[in-house]
């Protein structure tokens, strides 16, 4: 059996930290990477985790890439504080660690998303997946401010079972999170975006809504799907507004 380190990045996650750590209780090491939390997350993590390290937050990929080399074991399972490992996923991971395929260095894991108290079945989130089980010395995150994914130096596999992902606490908090994402995306997109024009401020936000609500069947998720579609359009619009401000040194 290969040994496993579970990494959990945190930042003011007192409402999540106990359940997150409990869901990876099968790991040989639990490493919490705390972004100088002020709500008791750090203290609670010290009680429950194998090791807690702290660093001022820059952006997600930077934080994770800093933490990965500090894992004690070669195999890493990385989950966000708002994600949970199910019993079925735990069993599947343990089976893999008993006899890993030497060619595979990382695995995609699907996510079941819970938003506003209900499971999202469409809205572009149906096939949501992330690379979260990987070998420490063969993988790192791409250098992006937001939505960075693992770059793997080797073959990838896919697990059958999914993580539970519940990023929603309240609608106001979620909108605040989308505003942060828009700020980070403005920096990511700035160098590859030409002159800003109505295409960016009108057509792209409309397409964001239309894609999630119509093409990806968000309407089948009812009010949940309508809200997701609207917020997807909103975050695209705010991305370019913040880019416009950034270019004028008014951000």
Which residues sit opposite 115 in a β-bridge? Answer: 118
What's the mean per-residue pLDDT of the chain? 96
Q: Where do we find the tokens 């606490």?
A: 169
Contacts of 102 (CB under 8 A, 6+ apart): none
What does the pLDDT read at residue 218? 98
Indicate the pLDDT class of residue 167, thresholds 50, 70 and 90. Answer: confident
Q: Taking the CB of residue 59, how many other CB atoms lie within 10 A of it?
A: 17
* Rounded-to-integer distance, Cα 97 and Cα 107, Å: 12
The structural domains of the chain, ordered by start, are 4-168 (3.90.550.10), 171-248 (no CATH)
Over the stretch 73-112, which tens digit does the pLDDT of each residue have? 999 999 999 999 999 999 999 999 999 999 999 999 999 9
Over the stretch 176-230, which tens digit does the pLDDT of each residue have? 999 999 999 999 999 999 999 999 999 999 999 999 999 999 999 999 999 999 9
C-alpha angle 210/215/216, rounded to 5°? 105
- In the chain, the percentage of residues whose pLDDT exceeds 70 is 100
DSSP state of 70: G
Q: What is the largest CA-CA distance in the chain?
A: 57
Give the global pTM: 0.93
């Amino acid at each position: 059996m290969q040994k496993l380190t579970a990494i959990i990045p945190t930042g003011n996650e007192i409402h999540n930290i106990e359940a997150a750590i409990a869901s990876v209780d099968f790991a040989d090491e639990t490493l919490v990477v705390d972004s100088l939390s002020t709500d008791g997350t750090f203290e609670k993590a010290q009680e429950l985790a194998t090791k807690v390290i702290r660093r001022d937050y820059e952006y997600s990929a930077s934080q994770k890439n800093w933490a990965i080399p500090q894992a004690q074991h070669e195999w890493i399972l990385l989950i966000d504080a708002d994600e949970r490992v199910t019993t079925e996923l735990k069993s599947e991971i343990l089976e893999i660690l008993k006899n890993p395929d030497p060619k595979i260095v990382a695995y995609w894991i699907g996510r079941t998303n819970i938003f506003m108290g209900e499971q999202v079945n469409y809205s572009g989130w149906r096939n949501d997946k992330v690379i979260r089980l990987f070998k420490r010395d063969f993988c790192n995150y791409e250098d992006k401010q937001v939505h960075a994914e693992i770059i793997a130096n080797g073959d990838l596999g896919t697990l059958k079972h999914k993580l539970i992902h519940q990023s929603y606490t309240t609608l106001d908090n979620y909108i605040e999170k989308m505003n942060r994402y828009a700020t980070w995306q403005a920096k990511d997109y700035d160098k590859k975006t030409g002159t800003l024009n109505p295409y960016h401020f009108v057509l792209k936000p409309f397409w964001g809504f239309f894609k999630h609500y119509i093409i990806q069947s968000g309407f089948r998720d009812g009010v949940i799907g309508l809200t997701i579609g609207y917020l997807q359009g909103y975050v695209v619009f705010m991305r370019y507004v913040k880019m416009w401000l950034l270019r004028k040194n008014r951000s």
